[in-house]
């Protein structure tokens, strides 16, 4: 971003902050705040250890300083503005989940599809949170991050004090990490119920709704299962005439899960846990967001300096129909000329806009997005 | 709080770490200096010493006394014990004490009715336990806060029944959770900030314990039998010390340690004995794991190299000889060679 582009984007951000209500998280005055400024870009230096005592103060800061990124701490502190963590005195922290498309195995062909995939994951996660964990929806806030995913903030009183190791257990549950595959048909854990049902579904499908050759091929995907083993297993399956019989065999067959002679059933189950767990929470290797109890997180209704999107809170029941490429678009359609640095494409409001090398004219929303992504500079 | 009133002094005496015990003492209005200097309280100090040495030797025991004065003595000895431990400032010992205390409590808790267990649970900040049919339910937040430090797989939330925020547990689980909370409670705030003055007045106690500790450490050297512990690389020596202090070690450390000991020829039984002081010790499982590493499953495992050790944060205490080798086994051999040659010349 050159100087002129920075000036332009900053002035558009400023206009936004001057004309929109800001969002205040509960307990805003006992949280730490952090910002990244346009002047310092591309260097990412966070100004942290800030604290605000009133809505007006924060609002003035945003429209006066116009940060390119705005964050607040998930933690509550006695002295949020203290310089180091010890002096701040940690009092608790929201439970946060960061669902980022980068951690998804299913990447999607383009940005739109990727966002759709991560939204599906978010919906799945919300289901776990309300069903298994019993969180009430008024304690859950879902926010489109303005980038590649969603943040879920849980502010149920019972979790605020949890230490990092305890939060890790929650993530492990959601990703089905550390699952005990032994005696999976015994149903003594929620995941066993889930997994064993799917395992039985799988064999049921092989037996009753797939043609035999296809079934054999499906089984042969597993390591150590060749022609002989797969056909032996299919013979066993063809011995059952109803789902009940099949289910009884597995649940009360008197053999351990691992010891099945024809197939290491564990592999089937592993496949299933991979599909059922929340993939996007997996593979966050260093400092996963959830277990980091001192993390800063993007301020809802602020603007994401890397995209120009609004960091948008979404009601749980509106999530299904939420489309960030329409609903999180901040800027309008005034035509704006830009100079392309690299070829670039973005969908917004169901149109596709392209940046070519040289000059192009785009609606402001797409132009700012491309500038924030570093694909073009402002003006000719 | 009503629940506090309803645990009697004589019961509190076997659970002296409960907040109710602390407030009982507070009501007695006795100052710290009085306890540590008055000869009348000699008995209390004796009791503390007995508890600490009991923890070292695995014989710590608490039994309920009918006598109120005697119970009060037991109650009073607990904060003194914590002070002595704080003056010593030996984390391994403190940990060992906390484990001994929690294991003993768990033994006693097994004799209690569920109603009483629930009272103890409240004292230990587990408020959500409810009983329905033959099962108990606990709110998941309290569950993970307590159970996340228990290493066995079945304690992972992933392997539990979780429905609308409630985790299903049975009576045995309940007691194990209490045990874990007790360990945490005993460790909480340790070491205390004890004044030099008080530590000086407790010096005869701390000295005595140090002597006992050094004796047991010698026993341990002897226990390792024909392998020569003096030749162990720092990382392995450190891992052994940790295990013997009753501190849980990570899976990777356990593997490194076991495979090392197996390779240099230590017997499976001797290794099991070594692990016996682990808090989550399970003889059967340990034997299985060791035999597995020792190759009963057909594969023998070589201990990890220094690079791998470093990757998992297990290279601890690196010294000069370490610079000359790239594998802990080589350290052992080389050191052995150096020592024997030194003796010859
Ligand atoms: S360098 Fe090798 S032998 Fe030395 S402490 Fe580290 S891991 Fe152990």
Ligand 1 atom closest to residue B316's alpha carbon, by position in its atom list = 5
Q: Is B315 annotated as a binding residue?
A: yes
Rounded average pLDDT over B264-282: 76
What pLDDT does residue A265 have? 66
Partners of residue A196 in chain B, C-beta under 8 Å = none
Chain-centre distance of CA B227, in angstroms?
Answer: 26
Decide whether any atom of ligand 1 lies within 6 Å of the B330 Cβ. no
String of b and e for A48-69 (b: at least 16 CB within 10 Å)? ebbbbeeeeebbebbbeebbbb
Q: How confident is the model at residue B317 (pLDDT cuts 50, 70, 90)?
A: confident
Lowest mean pLDDT among A345-349, B244-248, B256-260: B244-248
Helix, coil or strand: residue B225? coil
A282 or B282, which is more confident? Answer: B282
Question: Is pLDDT at A345 greater than 60 in this prediction?
Answer: yes
Q: Are A372 and A350 in contact (CB under 8 A)?
A: no
Burial class of residue B270, CB neighbours in 10 A (0-12, 13-18, 19+): middle
Check CB contact under 8 Å for A162 and B154. Answer: no
Decide whether any atom of ligand 1 lies within 6 Å of the B304 Cβ. no
Question: Is pLDDT at A62 greater than 80 in this prediction?
Answer: yes
Q: Is B205 annotated as a binding residue?
A: no
Rounded average pLDDT over B126-154: 91
Size of interface A-B (CB pairs under 8 A): 74
How near does any CA of chain B get to the CA of A313, in Å? 25
Check CB contact under 8 Å for A188 and B158. Answer: no
The sign of the torsion formed by the CA atoms of B97, B103, B108, B112 equals: positive
Q: Give the side-chain half-sphere CA count within 13 A for B86.
A: 20
Partners of residue B163 in chain A, C-beta under 8 Å = 131-132, 134, 190
pLDDT digit string (tens) for B178-202? 999 999 999 998 899 989 988 998 8
Q: How confident is the model at residue A63 (pLDDT cuts 50, 70, 90)?
A: very high
Phi, psi angles (nearest 5°) of residue B71: -65, -40
Identify any residues that bridge with A140 across adjacent strands, giving them in sequence order.
A154
CB of B148 within 8 Å of a chain A CB? The answer is yes
CB of B181 within 8 Å of a chain A CB? The answer is no
Phi, psi angles (nearest 5°) of residue B322: -60, -30
Chain A interface, mutation test: which of B139, B159, B160, most A Cβ atoms within 10 Å?
Answer: B159
Say how many Å lie between the CA of residue B233 and the centre of ligand 1: 6
What pLDDT does residue A288 have? 66
Q: Are B135 and B170 in contact (CB under 8 A)?
A: yes
How near does any CA of chain B get to the CA of A119, in Å? 23
How do the domains of chain A map onto residue ranges?
3-176+281-327, 184-276, 335-378
Lowest mean pLDDT among A159-163, A226-230, A304-308: A226-230
Decide whether any atom of ligand 1 lies within 6 Å of the B309 Cβ. yes
Question: Is pLDDT at A48 greater than 60 in this prediction?
Answer: yes
CATH number of A3-176+281-327: 3.90.920.10
Q: Are B97 and B52 in contact (CB under 8 A)?
A: yes
Rounded average pLDDT over B169-185: 95
- Rounded to whole angstroms, the Cα distance separating A100 from B77 reads 54
Helix, coil or strand: residue A329? coil
Q: Which residues on chain A place their C-beta less than 8 Å from a C-beta of chain B? A: 131-135, 158-159, 161-163, 165-170, 172-173, 176-180, 188-192
Residue A243: how many CB atoms within 10 A of its CB?
Answer: 14
A264 or A225, which is more confident? Answer: A225
Tokens 């009791």 locate to B47
String of b and e for A160-186 (b: at least 16 CB within 10 Å)? bebeeebbbbbbbbbbbbebbbeebbe
Q: How confident is the model at residue B217 (pLDDT cuts 50, 70, 90)?
A: low
Question: Is pLDDT at B138 greater than 90 in this prediction?
Answer: yes
What pLDDT does residue A261 have? 47
Contacts of A139 (CB under 8 A, 6+ apart): A154, A155, A156
| Probe residue for ligand 1, chosen from B233, B264, B305, B307 as the CB with the greatest number of ligand atoms within 8 Å | B233
Domains and CATH numbers, chain B: 2-197 (1.20.930), 224-344 (no CATH)
Model pTM score = 0.78
Question: For A190, which of B142, B144, B161 is closest by C-beta distance?
Answer: B161
Residue A6: how many CB atoms within 10 A of its CB?
Answer: 18
B37 or A375, which is more confident? Answer: A375
Catalytic residues of A: 98, 100, 286
Check CB contact under 8 Å for B148 and A189. Answer: no
Q: How confident is the model at residue B166 (pLDDT cuts 50, 70, 90)?
A: very high
- Rounded to whole angstroms, the Cα distance separating A306 from B124 reads 47
Phi, psi angles (nearest 5°) of residue B62: -130, 125
String of b and e for B46-85 (b: at least 16 CB within 10 Å)? ebbbebbbbbbeeebebeebeeeeebbbbbbbbbbbbbbb
Decide whether any atom of ligand 1 lies within 6 Å of the B331 Cβ. yes
Helix, coil or strand: residue B224? coil
Beta strands in B43-192 (DSSP E): 130-132, 135-139, 162-163, 166-169
Q: Are strands B130-132 and A67-73 parallel, antiparallel or unpaired?
A: unpaired
Burial class of residue B281, CB neighbours in 10 A (0-12, 13-18, 19+): middle
Q: Are B67 and B73 in contact (CB under 8 A)?
A: no
Residue B23: how many CB atoms within 10 A of its CB?
Answer: 12
Decide whether any atom of ligand 1 lies within 6 Å of the B271 Cβ. no
Which residue has the CA at smallest separation from atom 2 of ligand 1? B306
Check CB contact under 8 Å for A178 and B166. Answer: no
Could you give the angle at which helices B68-88 and B91-109 cross, rounded to 10 degrees? 150
Q: What is the predicted ipTM?
A: 0.88
Partners of residue A270 in chain B, C-beta under 8 Å = none
Question: Is pLDDT at B167 greater than 90 in this prediction?
Answer: yes
Which residue has the CA at smallest separation from atom 3 of ligand 1? B328
Helix, coil or strand: residue A50? strand
Rounded average pLDDT over A214-240: 83
What pLDDT does residue A284 have? 46
Partners of residue A163 in chain B, C-beta under 8 Å = 145
Question: Is pLDDT at A352 greater than 90 in this prediction?
Answer: yes
Percent of chain B residues topping a pLDDT of 70: 88
Lowest mean pLDDT among B53-57, B205-209, B265-269: B265-269
Tokens 């004589």 locate to B10
What pLDDT does residue B280 have? 67
Burial class of residue B212, CB neighbours in 10 A (0-12, 13-18, 19+): middle
- Rounded to whole angstroms, the Cα distance separating A27 from A23 reads 12
What pLDDT does residue A286 have? 41
pLDDT digit string (tens) for A288-302? 677 788 889 999 999
B70 or A41, which is more confident? Answer: B70
Phi, psi angles (nearest 5°) of residue A48: -115, -165
- Rounded to whole angstroms, the Cα distance separating A230 from A216 reads 6
Q: Which two tokens stand for residue A188?
A: 């003594």
Rounded average pLDDT over B240-266: 84
| Probe residue for ligand 1, chosen from B261, B310, B311, B322 as the CB with the greatest number of ligand atoms within 8 Å | B322
What pLDDT does residue A153 have? 96
Contacts of B248 (CB under 8 A, 6+ apart): B149, B151, B278, B279, B280
Q: Give the side-chain half-sphere CA count within 13 A for B80.
A: 32
Partners of residue B141 in chain A, C-beta under 8 Å = 158-159, 162, 166
What pLDDT does residue B40 have? 62
What pLDDT does residue B340 have? 67
| Probe residue for ligand 1, chosen from B307, B320, B328 as the CB with the greatest number of ligand atoms within 8 Å | B328
Q: Which two tokens stand for residue A223?
A: 């390591």
CA distances from A95 to A158, A170, B141, B150 (A): 10, 10, 11, 22
What pLDDT does residue B3 have? 44
Q: Are A99 and A118 in contact (CB under 8 A)?
A: yes
Which stretches of chain A are DSSP H helices?
A: 3-19, 55-65, 85-88, 111-131, 164-175, 190-208, 212-220, 227-238, 243-252, 265-276, 324-327, 364-372
Q: Which helix (H) or strand (E) holds A37?
A: strand A33-37
Rounded average pLDDT over A146-171: 93
Lowest mean pLDDT among A228-242, A349-363, B285-299: B285-299
pLDDT digit string (tens) for A99-153? 888 777 666 778 889 899 899 989 999 999 999 999 999 999 999 999 999 999 9
Q: How confident is the model at residue A28 (pLDDT cuts 50, 70, 90)?
A: very high
What pLDDT does residue B215 have? 78
């Amino acid at each position: 971003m050159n100087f002129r582009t920075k000036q332009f984007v900053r002035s558009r951000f400023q206009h936004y902050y001057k004309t929109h209500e800001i969002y205040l998280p509960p307990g805003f005055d006992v949280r730490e705040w952090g910002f990244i400024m346009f002047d310092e870009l591309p260097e990412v230096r966070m100004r942290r250890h800030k604290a605000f005592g009133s809505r007006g103060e924060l609002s003035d800061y945003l429209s006066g300083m116009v940060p390119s990124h705005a964050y607040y701490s998930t933690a509550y502190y006695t002295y949020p503005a203290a310089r180091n963590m010890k002096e701040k005195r940690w009092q608790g922290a929201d439970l946060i989940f960061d669902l980022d498309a980068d951690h998804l195995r299913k990447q999607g062909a383009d940005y739109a599809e990727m966002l759709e995939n991560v939204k599906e994951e978010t919906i799945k996660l919300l289901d776990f949170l309300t069903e298994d964990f019993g969180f009430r929806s008024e304690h859950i806030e879902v926010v489109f991050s303005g980038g590649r995913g969603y943040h879920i903030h849980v502010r149920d009183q019972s979790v605020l004090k949890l230490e990092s190791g305890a939060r890790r257990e929650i993530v492990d549950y959601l990703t089905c990490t550390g699952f005990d595959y032994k005696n999976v048909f015994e149903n003594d854990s929620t995941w066993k119920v889930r997994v064993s049902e799917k395992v039985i579904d799988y064999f049921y499908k092989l037996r009753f709704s797939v043609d035999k050759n296809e079934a054999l091929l499906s089984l042969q995907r597993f390591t150590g299962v060749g022609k002989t083993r797969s056909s032996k297993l299919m013979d066993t399956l063809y011995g059952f005439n109803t789902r009940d019989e099949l289910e009884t065999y597995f649940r009360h067959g008197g053999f351990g899960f691992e010891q099945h002679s024809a197939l290491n059933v564990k592999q089937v189950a592993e496949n299933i846990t991979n599909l059922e767990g929340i993939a996007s929470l997996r593979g966050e290797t260093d400092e996963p967001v959830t277990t980091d109890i001192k993390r800063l997180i993007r301020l809802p209704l602020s603007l994401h300096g890397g995209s120009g999107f609004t960091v948008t809170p979404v009601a749980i029941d509106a999530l299904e129909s939420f489309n960030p490429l329409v609903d999180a678009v901040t800027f309008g359609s005034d035509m704006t000329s830009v100079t392309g640095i690299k070829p670039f494409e973005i969908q917004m409001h169901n149109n596709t806009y392209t940046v070519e090398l040289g000059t192009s004219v785009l609606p402001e929303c797409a132009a700012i997005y491309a500038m924030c992504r570093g694909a073009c500079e402002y003006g000719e | 709080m009503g629940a506090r009133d309803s645990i009697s002094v004589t019961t509190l005496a076997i659970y002296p770490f409960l907040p109710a015990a602390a407030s009982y003492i507070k009501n007695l209005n006795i100052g710290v200096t009085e306890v540590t200097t008055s000869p009348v309280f000699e008995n209390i100090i004796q009791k503390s010493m007995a508890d600490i040495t009991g923890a070292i030797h695995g014989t710590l025991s608490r039994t309920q006394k009918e006598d109120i004065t005697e119970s009060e003595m037991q109650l009073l000895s607990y904060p003194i014990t914590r002070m002595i431990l704080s003056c010593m400032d030996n984390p391994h010992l403190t940990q060992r004490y906390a484990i001994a205390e929690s294991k003993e409590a768990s033994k006693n808790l097994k004799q209690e009715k569920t109603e009483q267990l629930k009272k103890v649970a409240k004292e230990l900040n587990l408020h959500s336990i409810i009983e329905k049919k033959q099962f108990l339910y606990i709110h998941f937040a309290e569950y993970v806060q307590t159970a996340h430090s228990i290493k066995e797989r079945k304690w992972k939330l992933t392997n539990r029944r979780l429905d609308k925020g409630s985790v299903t547990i049975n009576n045995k689980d309940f007691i194990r959770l209490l045990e874990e909370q007790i360990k945490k409670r005993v460790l909480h705030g340790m070491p205390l900030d004890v004044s030099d003055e008080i530590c000086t007045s407790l010096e005869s106690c701390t000295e005595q314990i140090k002597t006992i500790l050094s004796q047991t450490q010698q026993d341990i050297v002897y226990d390792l039998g024909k392998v020569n512990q003096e030749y162990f690389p720092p990382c392995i020596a450190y891992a052994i010390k940790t295990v013997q202090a009753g501190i849980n070690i990570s899976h990777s450390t356990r593997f490194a340690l076991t495979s090392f000991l197996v390779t240099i020829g230590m017997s499976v039984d001797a290794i099991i004995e070594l692990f016996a002081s682990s808090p989550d010790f399970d003889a059967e499982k340990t034997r299985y794991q060791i035999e597995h590493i020792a190759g009963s499953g057909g594969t023998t495992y070589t201990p990890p190299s220094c690079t791998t050790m470093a990757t998992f944060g297990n290279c601890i205490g690196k010294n000069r000889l370490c610079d000359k080798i790239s594998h802990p086994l080589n350290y052992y051999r080389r050191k052995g060679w150096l020592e024997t040659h030194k003796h010859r010349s």
